[in-house]
Chains A and B, each alone.
Chain A
């Protein structure tokens, strides 16, 4: 096995046992990127020299036996909407194509404090507006399982970089689906935490009331490790929760006998047959593990599309106001089609006379959707359903479909607007050999329980541990 193929947990262990050095690990990832990224296009920026230097430093620390840096020497890819001090951060937009931030996002700061090495910044839909990476102002990322297909998005570059073993761990961000949907299409673990569990400081804002940073990884344990490091209160983000962060690793293998898992037929009806069947099969696997599976009623996820679209476009129109042409070198003509569409729709929704009809109404429906989930979680502990209605679609699918993302993300939008945590985990493959994702949703701050269920499912399905051939 090559070093770049290791999981984060394996790499941590190997480095500490001095089976290989951080430099070897980093170089193995850099070689892999050189080999496959011309085809995949996961990365916008690769920080080769910087990463090698940091790996050298990490080896020094490892030699000294420094033990307060759990991610020491671990190569990461970071979605390009996370500000990285001294490293170009573009949000895949032409407006910010040359922008180098003078500061680190809180997530980046915490990863670096823990010893992580940033290998590079990954492609995404421009400003995170999309679910394909096709709205990137630079290029489209390809799916490692089939280069003629999309990786999903907006964190498509991060998911592809994990699926293709270009790095050991990755960070994405989700507004609605941007972690879970590309993870589903690329067969990775992707965890969108509760809104406010992870600080948004330094993440280029999209939908401020929903944006949630989270890990994209090879295993559930890796996701638990990273979440434990990046989660928690932040004096720079007033919406970050001060609730104590659990030790997610401690309870991963706790038996889940008697856990009540709900599912809503509405979510399965929205998915294609192959996806629906595979996720249903997974429910039976969970039943064998001792959980109680129960059908519950949830609103048709379609209602969430309108609510999410109005809230998100409104916030987008406000958040992109700062790119007014005075700074960053590129004026507003550099905005891509999708960004312009969103700015116009959001501006309209917030305009005098329309605010009550659109934004305020959407907020009210949002409250009702939150209540719908609260009701469900009085009956069951977790809810499971397909992550995406389909497996990865062919390149070009999003073109000429302004609502492509909203439809592709229909199954994650309800839990997103309710601020709930949700984990995507691979649960099988289609006839074409494309990964199928299942999502586990829980009440607010139930990250520990979700990871626990995800881990036991992962352990029960070792046959799914396969890698794409690129």
Chain B
């Protein structure tokens, strides 16, 4: 599948934003993170800023961005529409949460829970857009949603640790949360990669043409001499050549380095701890961008079966 940068940025940025928002929804009512106004403004600004930037970016790949409002109408059947509705609906408790925290210095557990729920539901909807597409076996499997949720949690936790260090208020439990989230997300990503490497779609060139009874089906002559929309959008191949290398880069940036950097504050205090935490979150976000690029580039679409691939 063609990796459209606006969609990659959207899922990575809003994923981190919703992860951070979900954690704030739980940790603020519990009084675990600093309660002062400046921290509240910066933390919510970062979370809602990342979410909003992602949502706006997602409209850039549309043929008619000015009609984007229409995408809220079909929530009964469409996960894309549900994602739109959930993302906008989450602004309501998030806005009340922000008012309560910034102006009244405290948030009720119920409001916090609503914010967390909204964030989780939105990420679930994002994952389901891909999970529900049967023609793409590498998306239509049960690894996809846990991966999206774990990566949102991981980047959210790392950015929370980043914020806390920025305010000189590092909390060991948040550092531990980030480490656990990294381990969880790395395990799920490795599981996903193993799954897509060892399985393939039930569809073949034979089932696509229905000619299997006559023997093996090979493309003899393509219908057109230059690339069409289908091949550009669904037959994207450039990245697969470098897939192994890119996986190592993604693993290093998203998981290995942030893991090691997150251990530093637990072992040493002072400036090394601050420096390590400040580097970890941006590195992990960069790693998730590479991971998301691979998620698209490595996905094969069933329509390619008509264009000479044997299995999708």
Do these two chains really belong together in a complex?
no
